[in-house]
Amino acid sequence: MKKVHNFNAGPCILPQEAIDASIEALKDFAGTGMSVITVSHRSKEWEAIMDECRSLWRELLDIPEDYEVLFLGGGASTQFLMVAMNLLETKAAYLETGVWAKKAIKEAKAFGEVEIVASSADKTFNYIPKDFTIPADADYFHITTNNTIYGTELHEDLDSPIPVVADMSSDIMSRPVDVKKYGIIYGGAQKNVGPGGVTFVIVRKDLLGKVSRHLPSMIDYNTHIKDGSMFNTPPVFPVYVMNETLKWVKRNGGVAAMQKRNQEKAAILYDEIDRNKMFVGTAAKEDRSLMNVCFVMAEEYKDKEADFMALAKERNMVGIKGHRSVGGFRASIYNAMPKESVQALVDCMQEFEKLNA
């Protein structure tokens, strides 16, 4: 198989060990003689996978007992409305830091008042707002911790007078998180913890059951808590791959080790962006994402963008084109991205600089 450097933003690179184990489970799951995609989700073999996966989440993030871990369908986009339907009674507060935050705000407005406490839209979301005040009278405060399109990230857990709800789709398991500072943490798995098709939700149970509106069964978090994420058929294969991915995280030192490795990889690439006269980083330096490194050609080399893309393709770089809404380049360097691939991209950038000196 051809060696490629996979910088896709999602679905994205996953540990090869997790992929290999999942391939074997497609052939014969847990000695059942059946594929994991054909086994009953009510079987004891599958229930063991669900239990193990929940336990790994709890262990890796030190999740307290008063929180539940759910595996659902629908992606983070469905969580935009589920959060609001389950928690928003009168008013919710949101931090607007990019496209996904805007989409979450749009969904919440259908269920009550939404206060945008701060926004970085004035500079095309290239920074994280600071010095804002979280309204104490809101039902919750929603943040998007990492912004894949613009390459910005909240690097610390916030203190808040009200429950914090966090979309951590693209930086979950990349650093230690103080779960006690959050009411809900959710996200699509397809960055650091699995393939597309499964959504994780970590929810503090005492926040639920307080809104006055009727909640359809599938939208009520309590439905899924009561039935162990199996009220309906769960996304079986994505959960299996997630379980294998979390086992890989544990074997490799847990989230603290992931953070160290991610900081090292990001430093290699950001240092080159800052050094190389042909490229310019787009995110404010103090808010640069460790997961999604966004950059553009320097103004005097704008006409060379297609040439660099061509060279990168020749060097087996995949997925470095920036999001269609902003252009430029984006290197997504999630947990499973090896340092060697980051160095290969840096080597490519240096080669391009020499060719155009």
Fold annotation for 16-251:
Aspartate Aminotransferase; domain 2 (3.40.640)
Report H helices in 276-338.
305-314
Tell me which of 157, 167, 220, 287 is the catalytic residue: 167
Say if 16-251 and 254-355 have the same CATH topology. Answer: no
Q: Quick one: CATH architecture of 254-355?
A: Alpha-Beta Complex (3.90)
Tell me which of 46, 100, 139, 287 is the catalytic residue: 100
- Is 102 among the residues known to form the active site? no
Instruction: State both tokens at 273.
Output: 């962006």
Predicted local distance difference test score (pLDDT) of residue 19: 98
Predicted local distance difference test score (pLDDT) of residue 85: 98
Show me where the domains of the chain are located.
16-251, 254-355
* Rg of the chain on CA atoms, in Å: 21
Contact between residue 208 and residue 139 where contact means Cβ atoms under 8 Å apart: no
Residues of the chain with pLDDT under 70: none
Predicted local distance difference test score (pLDDT) of residue 234: 97
- Is 100 among the residues known to form the active site? yes
The CB-side HSE value for 62 (13 A sphere, CA atoms) comes to 10
Predicted local distance difference test score (pLDDT) of residue 336: 98
d(CA 354, CA 282): 23
**281-323 residue pLDDT tens:** 999 999 999 999 999 999 999 999 999 999 999 999 999 999 8
d(CA 144, CA 124): 15
Predicted local distance difference test score (pLDDT) of residue 324: 83
Predicted local distance difference test score (pLDDT) of residue 326: 86
CA angle in degrees (0–180, nearest 5) for 110-114-119 = 125
Tell me which of 57, 171, 191, 265 is the catalytic residue: 191
pTM over 0.75, yes/no: yes
CA 347 from centroid of its chain's CA atoms: 27
- Is 167 among the residues known to form the active site? yes
Predicted local distance difference test score (pLDDT) of residue 229: 98
**177-210 residue pLDDT tens:** 999 999 999 999 999 999 999 999 999 999 999 9
Please report, for the chain, how many H helices and E strands are present, in that order: 9, 14
Predicted local distance difference test score (pLDDT) of residue 3: 87
